[in-house]
Amino acid sequence: MIYEENLKELKKIAAKTRKRILEMIFNSQSGHIGGSLSSVEAIVSLYFNVMNLQGSNRDRFILSKGHGVPALYAVLVEKNWMDEKELLTLRRLGSKLQGHPDMKTNPYIDMSSGSLGQGLSVGVGMALGAKLQKSPAKVYTLVGDGELEEGQNYEAMMFASHHKLNNLIALVDNNGLQLDGPTKEILALEPLEKRFEAFGWKIEVCDGHNFVEIINALNRLKNNESGPGVVILNTIKGKGISFMENKVKYHGAPPNEEEYLRALKELENW
C-alpha cells in the first residue's frame, strides 16, 4: 500500500535526485545524463520503498547499465550513505565516484559494472548463492533496453528460469534510445515481453515514472513463487528536462552552461 504522504515524499526525492544528476554531470562536463534521468523513479522506488537494506540478509542491487550511475550516487546521498560534496568529484582522477560503479571504493555498491550485458548474469549468480545459503535476500538488477541486445542476457534468462530463481527481479529501463539511435532501428527488441515470457519469467509492464505502478509491480513479483520476474519500465530518456527528453544526443552529452541553467530552472519547478 502506498499512502499519499509516502508518494509525496518519493516525488520530492526524485526531484532532488534529478537536480543532483544535472549538477554533477554539468560540473564534470562528462557523463550519461539521459539514461540517468530515465531510471530515477526505479532506483528511488527500490531504495526508499521496496528493498530490505538491513543486515547480512539484505537485498542486493545491480546497476547493470553502469553508465547511469549518477542516479545511484544521488540516491545514496539521499540515504545519507555518501557526502553530497563527493558528487562534485564525479569522474575526476582519483575520485571514488567514477563514471561506472566501483564496489571497491564504495561499500554500498554491490557490483562493479559498465561492460554492458553482464549484470543480469551476475544477478543470477547472487540469487543462486542466496538460495543455496537459504537466505531471504532478493536481487534486483536494472538493465538498459539497448543492453538487451547482448546475447549473454538470454543465457542468464534461461538459467534463472531453469533454477526457479524467484528471488531475482530484473528491471528494464525501456526508454527506446541507445548510444547511436533508437533501439527499434539498431536491433529491435519487440515484442520484449514475449522474449522474457518465452524463458519462463513472470512479466510486469508499467509506466517507469509512476511510483504507484512501479512499486505495485515490484511487490507482486516479490511474492511470486514460481521463478524470476521482470518489470518492463516504459520510460523517457532525459525525463524531467524538456529539451533532453527523447533526444539521443543526451545519451552521453553533458549540458553546456546555457542548457544547465535552463534545465535547472525546469527542475526547480517540479
Per residue in 236-270, pLDDT tens?
A: 999 999 999 999 999 999 999 999 999 999 999 87
Could you tell me the CA-to-CA distances from 21 to 40, 136, 141, 222, 239 in Å, in that order? 10, 33, 20, 29, 12
Query: Which pLDDT value is given to residue 269?
Result: 83
Residue 222, pLDDT > 90, answer yes
Per residue in 57-71, pLDDT tens?
A: 999 999 999 999 999
pLDDT band of residue 4 (cuts 50, 70, 90) is confident
Per the structure, the complete domain to which residue 93 belongs is given by 4-268
Reading the block at residue 68, the C-alpha cell is 547511469
Query: Which pLDDT value is given to residue 270?
Result: 77
Return the percentage of the chain with pLDDT > 70, whole number: 100
Is the pTM higher than 0.85? The answer reads: yes
Residue with cell 557490483: 111
CATH at residue 26:
3.40.50.970
Residue 71's contacts (CB-CB under 8 Å, 6 or more residues apart) are: 17, 21, 36, 37, 39, 40, 43
The number of distinct structural domains making up the chain is: 1
Per residue in 146-167, pLDDT tens?
A: 999 999 999 999 999 999 999 9
Residue 1, pLDDT > 70, answer no
